[in-house]
Structure 1
Amino acid sequence: MSNRPAISEEAIVLRGPLVTSFSDEEFFQFCQDNRDLRLERTSDHEIIFMSPAGFLSSSYSAEVVFQLSLWNKQTRLGRVGESSAAYVLPDKATLSPDASWFSQAAWARVPAELRNRFLPICPEFVVEVKSPSDRIPTLQAKMQQWLHNGTQLGFLLDCETETAWVYRPDQPAEELHGYDRHLSGEAVLPGFALDLRALREE
């Protein structure tokens, strides 16, 4: 499989030696200088400008982060990130999921001077929530990229159609329909279950 991530047709992409030569520190500073933009970087160091999420998809993402944070506060097994947290992955891409979690062991491997930067690790658990500008095939390719880099469990959520995909290493994605259910955190997040009923628009 290719390490190159899919890029949405709606995304604006900066290419060329000026931006692809950015170091990790220079890209971090570029993001700090453009805080009102949602930015990611491909494994080829092309910079992707993504559309802001609509309100509903943003609120769904916030609910996922809330449930994950509540579980983590009780268990203290790791750290939770929301959509502004970014990770520099082994394939050299820098990506930001809508929600993420990584273990205390992974946190211990991050040098102190990098802990307020984009973290040089791959989270064990990620969630991507479809926004109005997203395309499902692009998000599915992104989920595969997370797995390729070391993620152990991932959820892709299309709340408008009440569809969920569960991603596990070396397995086909499991597609589920209807949000009258919970998604288990399995062995990665012991005791965690995402209540999809909270992501329904009543």
Structure 2
Amino acid sequence: MLTLPITLDLKTVNLSDEQFYQLCIKKPEIQLERTPQGDLILMSPVGGDSGNQEIELGADLVIWNRQTKLGKVFSSSTIFPLPNGGDRSPDAAWVELSRWEALTPEQRRKFPPIAPDFVIEVRSLSDSLKTLRDKMQEYLDSGVRLGWLFNPKNQQVEIYRLGQEKETCELPCSLSGESVLSGFSLRMARFG
């Protein structure tokens, strides 16, 4: 029996960005990501608890953004080709409006070639904490300014800031969007 996620070493194949895009479009039932080294990652679907946690956190972000109109919010189905070469799909992401509007219509229709300003990742039962931490570092290395990694298993959230050390908060806690998401705050209870 296969356990997901699975990483396929395809460095020798060297898929172009367009080939990776076409693979994702032609096989939408397979959720894919790509590492900066060119490995394909077959992501596992999440269970009910994780899916609920992702949408609840994303909904808070959407509600704030609808009120402020400061940017664009994206679901876990959106793949971002990052400047460091990886193609990643955070559980939720936000891009500041002027940066989004600087993209061409074609870039917006396909996988937007931009690092989000803010990302959320929620650890599911099948996720390795080390892998998620590496992914959060990859986001920062690509220019993401703020990221929250929620870990329901340990009842924690890790806060990642560009150019700073990671901060870990025990739940319950209050989170701030700081200067990235001006006015956004989230009172986070313990995961049930």
Global fold match (TM > 0.5): yes
- Does residue 144 (structure 1) correspond to residue 137 (structure 2)? The answer is yes
Matches for 1:51-130 after TM superposition, within 5 Å: 51-130=44-123
C-alpha contact (below 8 Å) 1:38/1:50 kept by paired residues: yes
Provide the secondary structure at the position in 1 that maps to 2:109.
coil
Partner Cα distance (2:157, 2:174) in 1: 11
Deviations along 1:50-83, one digit per CA (max 9) or x if unpaired, are: 1111111111000111000000000000000110
C-alpha contact (below 8 Å) 1:19/1:47 kept by paired residues: no
Q: Which runs of 5+ in 1 are unaligned?
A: 1-8
Aligned match of 2:191 in 176, 197, 200?
200
- Does residue 12 (structure 1) correspond to residue 37 (structure 2)? The answer is no
Question: CA offset at residue 10 of structure 1?
Answer: 4.8
Question: CA offset at residue 38 of structure 1?
Answer: 1.5
Partner Cα distance (1:108, 1:68) in 2: 19
Partner Cα distance (1:84, 1:50) in 2: 11
Partner Cα distance (2:168, 2:9) in 1: 35
Q: Number of aligned pairs?
A: 190
Give the structure, 1 or 2, with the largest relative contact order (CA under 8 Å, sep 6 or more).
1
Aligned match of 1:46 in 39, 45, 54?
39
What do you get for the CA RMSD once the two structures are aligned? 1.6
Aligned structure 1 segments of 4 or more residues deviating by more than 4 angstroms: none
C-alpha contact (below 8 Å) 1:15/1:46 kept by paired residues: yes
State the AA in 2 paired with 1:129: V
State the AA in 1 paired with 2:120: V
Q: Which runs of 5+ in 2 are unaligned?
A: none
Partner Cα distance (2:142, 2:19) in 1: 23
Partner Cα distance (2:71, 2:102) in 1: 12
Partner Cα distance (1:84, 1:117) in 2: 12
Question: CA offset at residue 43 of structure 1?
Answer: 1.0
C-alpha contact (below 8 Å) 1:89/1:122 kept by paired residues: yes
Partner Cα distance (1:149, 1:17) in 2: 20
C-alpha contact (below 8 Å) 1:157/1:165 kept by paired residues: yes
Partner Cα distance (2:13, 2:56) in 1: 35
Partner Cα distance (1:156, 1:92) in 2: 21
Partner Cα distance (2:55, 2:13) in 1: 31
